[in-house]
A and B are shown apart, each in its own frame.
Chain A
Amino acid sequence: MIGTGISVNSITARRRHPLARYAVVALALGLLGGGYAVAGPGSSNADAAIASGKADDVAQGKSLFVAHCASCHGLNAEGTAKAPTLVGVGAAAVDFQVSSGRMPAADAGPQAARKPTAEWVNEETIGDLAAFVQSLGGGPTRPTAEQVDPTMGDPAKGGELFRANCIQCHNFVGAGGALTYGKYAPPLNPATPTQIYEAMVTGPQAMPVFNDSIITPDKKRDMIAYITHVRSQVDPGGSGLGRIGPVTEGLVAWVVGLSLLILAAIWITAKKRRAKA
């Protein structure tokens, strides 16, 4: 080969090596498998779990599922009249719903509310459950720690995306808002960065899905950076009054401002001039 310092003869010689055919097959398999693992339709967790001897997770997950989820979602997660199928929702959906306490649902309201998690819920059981649901039909996987690290995002860019995509339901600082038929956009303050990311990729309940082709993972991280920055910000103007805008401001103007002034007026006029006796 010209310029590489390797003679054509030596390449030819190696090509004829008895082990070469095995090496080629191994390389092809490796590329194919690796490529599939990277670019394949999101089933890496289950495959990886099975491949790396974590098949136990799936089995564990299944038993958790049967105990806590199957009554509504069906024994094989096929869905029932009460709840949708979980085939294809992915590990991200499981992690979002279970870690935020929304699942297992308490009652059949218009929307499952965030609540303290059940006793059996922890990192490990969520992982098992997620692995099981992931093994059923793939779906969005859980983000890596790097993908949701607010310090690596650009809050200014994230703010623009946040205003364009989120605030019409979640309010300008993520204080939440009302939706139709008893549904609501919950406040974003208690959500962890991971949960915010997962909500975007899975679109829980009334929320639309913001998949990676609409908002790339980098942009999602920018948005997380904005949300976490703004919510941790100390209000420079004093009490934020719930950060829901002019409603509480008006309330304070009347209840605090005007009341104080009326009290002052009453106090001032209560002092009568005494006629000199």
Chain B
Amino acid sequence: MDTTPKPIAGVSTFLDDRLGAGSFLKRNMRKIFPDHWSFLLGEIALYSFIILLLTGTFLTLWFKPSMGEVVYSGSYQPLVGVKMSEAYASALNISFDVRGGLLIRQIHHWAALLFIAGMMVHMLRVFFTGAYRKPRELNWLIGVGLLTLALLEGLTGYSLPDDLLSGAGLRITEGVMLGIPVVGTYLTFLLFGGEYPGHDVISRFFTIHILLIPGILLALISAHMILMWVQKHTQMPGTGRSEKNVVGAPFYPAFMAKAGAFTLFTFAVIALLGTFAQINPIWLFGPYTPADISAGSQPDFYMGFLEGSLRLMPSWEINFLDHTVSLSVLIPALVPLGIVMTGLALYPFIEQWVTGDRREHHIADRPRNNPHRTAIGFTGITFYGVLWLLGANDEISANFHISLYETTIVGRFAIFIVPAIAYFVTYRICIGLQRSDQAMLSHGVESGVIKRLPHGEYIEVHTPPMEDIADHIRGKKEIPVVESGEDTDGIPPKGARTALGRLRSKMSQAYGTDHIPLEEGHGHEEHAAIGAGDHSDGHKDGH
């Protein structure tokens, strides 16, 4: 401190006396962050969001959110003289006549895709490691809210240029709103300010897209980060790690350097995509008119599962008191979205109810160690994935020469069968991986050295696993099971007397039972016992 130059010392003392910055920084700069690649997935979304804010601001300087009709006279020849909305004309202007406009537009769009993709993989990481458990349930709910808002943000965003493709999405949005019983028509007129497409929807979407949702996103992201900071990050099980500590690198300098590098990596990848891969070529789509529609009209990837459910749905409708209820629109629009989002939001609480687990968790689960949760996660992924895939069934049909109707019919069965298969397969894989963990702890690792015993038998020498790997495996924690056993008088505990209670204890039993308990036993494996003496050198080198 003695060597600090006076100007710096003076300013920092000034700030310190008034803001208490010194103690704040001292406390927080040394914050420890655990190191694991999967902990950086959320940062993809975070840094993409920053890029979205920056590039989005650039785009608003030229974009005109108006549906007033103009005749295009810019530099894209095949559209000169064509009537279009001001919004579309200004988006063309950004693409062709604003310096760097196309690049920024493309970066904005690629960043949007990576924003949501990053959120998705981050959410899957949190789910599969059980990092949503107490005390982090609220942060998980914030995350679900962020994802939902991001989908809306995407929808309103790609609708803004008012091109033919986005118009198709807008038309579906209108159809879904019209399908809502009783209030659908009123809601539609409210949103579009009259008969579709009207003159208001672009300017309204603009306000929602650049002000309302980003504002909420920003607030929620801040809350998400603060909660993470205060509650501390979860860590993977390993040597010296417990529920009471966090092992890792301090925020300053190590984690900050890594996070800074990762920011630059994210910028680089998005800039790379924006430079070399064309995205949303609105000039090829043409201006929107409700009369035109193109083959291959698809939403951006995050809306694909809704598109797929719409395409798979049989054309059901019921007539109730002279009112048509179009189930063929309502079910695909609301049911899969409801299952996925509600399921995600409720999962921490359902799991708590099933396991009766009220403990705090700061050590992440390895996905294999909670096989039912992992299997449920993969069921969700395949459910989502089948819908997503079938959202592109016309492209699959056209490019791989498969009959379009066959893809629809296969999809209608696959949406029920494939998730069920995924559950079973994932569960078995988890059990298998647990078995291999168990084998590694109790038998050791294959060394590749074959020994011949005096009586002629060949065996492979096993060496004990490296200590950090063994500790990682030993981090497995039992999943609690609710009390269900009858007491000495044959009376089940209070909670398990009702039908729901019995269901709960059954589910708990299935969810929590550990089929492959870890044992360090050295009883029945002669391999390691024989090998250990000769090969402890190689083993020690590992440390």
Contact = CB atoms under 8 A, between A and B. Distances in A.
B114 interface: yes
Interface string B180-221: 000000000000000000000000000000000000000000
Given A156-B78, A171-B294, A230 B40 contact: no
Interface string A131-163: 000000000000000000000000111011001
Interface in B275-307: 275-281, 284-286, 289, 291-301, 304
A238 interface: yes
A127 to B, nearest CB: 33
Interface in B23-70: 35-41, 43-44
Interface SS majority for chain A: helix
Contact of A257 (B114, B262, B275): B114
Nearest to A173: B284
Given A262-B37, A264-B262, 15 more contacts: A156-B78, A156-B79, A156-B81, A159-B78, A159-B286, A171-B295, A175-B296, A185-B398, A235-B281, A241-B277, A245-B296, A250-B304, A258-B117, A268-B37, A268-B40
Contacts of A178: 295, 393-395, 397-398, 404
Interface string A253-277: 1101110111011101110110000
Size range of the chain B interface in the assembly: 35 or more
Contact of A237 (B44, B249, B281, B401): B281
A164 interface: yes
A168 B258 contact: no
Given A238-B278, A265-B41, A246 B405 contact: no
B113 A180 contact: no
B508 to A, nearest CB: 35
B398 A176 contact: yes
B488 interface: no
A54 interface: no
Contacts of A78: none
Interface of B: 35-41, 43-44, 77-82, 95-96, 102, 106, 110, 113-114, 117-118, 121, 164-165, 249, 254, 258, 261-262, 265-266, 269-270, 272-273, 275-281, 284-286, 289, 291-301, 304, 392-395, 397-399, 401, 403-405
A264 B121 CA distance: 15
A254 B117 contact: yes
Contacts of B110: 253, 257
Contacts of A164: 291-292
15 contacts: A160-B82, A182-B403, A230-B78, A236-B95, A236-B278, A241-B277, A244-B395, A246-B298, A249-B301, A260-B272, A261-B265, A265-B40, A265-B43, A266-B37, A273-B249
Given A164-B291, A257-B110, A260-B269, A239 B297 contact: no
Interface of A: 110, 155-157, 159-160, 163-164, 167-173, 175-182, 184-185, 226, 229-230, 235-241, 243-247, 249-254, 256-258, 260-262, 264-266, 268-270, 272-273
Contact of B278 (A175, A241, A258, A273): A241
9 smallest A-B Cβ distances: which pairs?
A250-B301, A177-B295, A237-B278, A178-B397, A253-B113, A265-B40, A264-B265, A182-B403, A167-B294
Given A240-B281, A268-B262, A273-B254, A169 B44 contact: no
A250 B391 CA distance: 12
A238 B277 contact: yes
B301 A246 contact: yes
Which interface residue of B102, B258, B395 has the most chain A CB atoms within 10 A? B395
A185 B403 contact: no
Contact of A245 (B96, B165, B261, B399): B165
Contact of B102 (A236, A241, A262): A236
- Centre residue among B106, B281, B293 by max chain A CB count within 10 A: B281
A247 B295 contact: no
A159, A184, A185, A247 pick with most chain B CB within 10 angstroms: A247
Contacts of A262: 37, 41, 121
A172 B270 contact: no
Given A250-B300, A253-B117, A159 B294 contact: no
A177 B293 contact: no
Of residues A179, A236, A253, A256, which shows the largest number of chain B Cβ atoms within 10 Å of its Cβ?
A: A253
Contacts of A243: 281, 284
Contacts of B37: 262, 265-266, 268-270
Given A155-B77, A257-B110, A177 B278 contact: no
Contacts of A172: 164-165, 284-286, 294-296
Contacts of B293: 167-168
Given A258-B117, A261-B269, A156 B82 contact: yes
B77 A261 contact: no
A156 B77 contact: yes
B273 A256 contact: yes
Nearest to B292: A163
